[in-house]
Amino acid sequence: MDLTVEKSGNLEGAVKAPPSKSYTHRAVIIAALAEGVSEIRDPLIAEDTLSSLNACRAFGVRVDEGDAWTVHGSGGELETPDDVIYLGNSGTTLRLMTSVAGLAENYTVLTGDESLRTRPMQPLLDALRPLGVEALSSRMNGLPPIIVRGGLRGGSTSIRGDVSSQFISSILIAAPLTEGVEVMVEGDFISRPYVDMTVDVMERFSVPVDYSEGTFRVEPAVYRGLDYTVEGDYSSASYLAGAVAAAGGDVLIENLFRDSRQGDRIILDIISDMGAEVRRGEDHVRIASTGELSGVSVNLHDAPDLLPTVAVLGALATGRTEIGGVEHARYKETDRISTCAAELRRLGVDVTELPDGMIIEGGASGGTVWSHGDHRLAMAFTLIGLREGITIRDAEVFSVSFPDFPERMMQIGCRMNLS
């Protein structure tokens, strides 16, 4: 399916940021492990988050869907799934549920689509072994499908922090239901805000987490069910904010909280540095812009999902934009450094690919690009269309994280058509 974006200017109005994908994943999984019933209010209903919901069901947890998700917690007493668990394209579900699978008896098999089966898992598999879990790659290459034998008892382990913060979050989420866990993070600790989000949700569900000198400690504890409201998603809101910055206008984005722990809130600082006006409230942000942007130098070490957004804004800006600190973006749905660079070159942009980022000389023209099956590329490249016109092939992948993306963009005046 193609998404055609026409030149659009003077965007205006108010729009609500969609619920956070990251918080929805964590809330439904932790609620599934809790004692009692939880109401997950305003969850993101998208392919990725439904993978987490259905994975919880595979372990025998009852989840009733409606305006809110009602999760009847298992208290950590999980059933062995009666079939292979298929997770689609959700790398977050794969990583978080691998440790959770260690709480069930017998064997669990986790797999997904072709893209998911390229996601590295060996550091997590190695870190689970000292905690009593036998987990391995079915093809013995460190990639899914993953086979997990129950037996998570706790103890001490270490894990590299430079591949995926989701590995750390995975162990922490399962840790309270053991004899206690100590996790030492080795080397560079990338995407730390995502672990902060995990700790935030764990503490909301009554489980404290201690962190000092590079080591997390979780004592045996009980998650308690509660009513939990999912906050707005800064990752998805980056396309709304970026649209105003690129096309010009004045737009209010609701459901974005000033005190959020999401690392992707840095997008507001970035577009401000590029020339947009950003005014922050307690639960909203107002963006105003003339559409004239200047290149910037940014480190996205803690916000790798912003790479496509910042890259396309750099392609529309005057001067040079340098993006660094995101070597780990090569291990997302695609090698995002390589795919972003390739598609920008289709539009006449001068791009130098670096091991951990890229250098972009502004000057994009219109044309046709491909999503590579990556939802963030599909959405980010619409921003170029607002200035130059663009067609994005295989664009329907936006439904992975932002199912009503076109509708919300058109709500503020973006001209686009899905066909």
Residue of 42, 233, 302, 305 marked active site: 305
Q: How far is 184 from 155, CA to CA, in rounded Å? A: 11
Give the distance, in angstroms, between the CA of residue 334 and the centroid of all CA atoms in the same chain.
13
> What single letter denotes the amino acid at residue 170?
S
The SS3 assignment for 408 reads helix
Give residue for tokens 């998700």.
69
Contact predicate 75/37, CB 8 Å = no
264 counts as catalytic: no
Residues in the chain: 419
Spatial CA neighbour of 326 closest among 167, 190, 208, 220: 190
Contact predicate 28/52, CB 8 Å = yes
Burial state string for 349-366 with b = 16 or more CB within 10 A and e = fewer than 16: bebeeeebbbbbbbebeb
Q: How far is 30 from 354, CA to CA, in rounded Å? A: 38
Q: How far is 367 from 390, CA to CA, in rounded Å? A: 5
Q: Which helix (H) or strand (E) holds 251?
A: strand 249-254
> Mind telling me the catalytic residues?
305
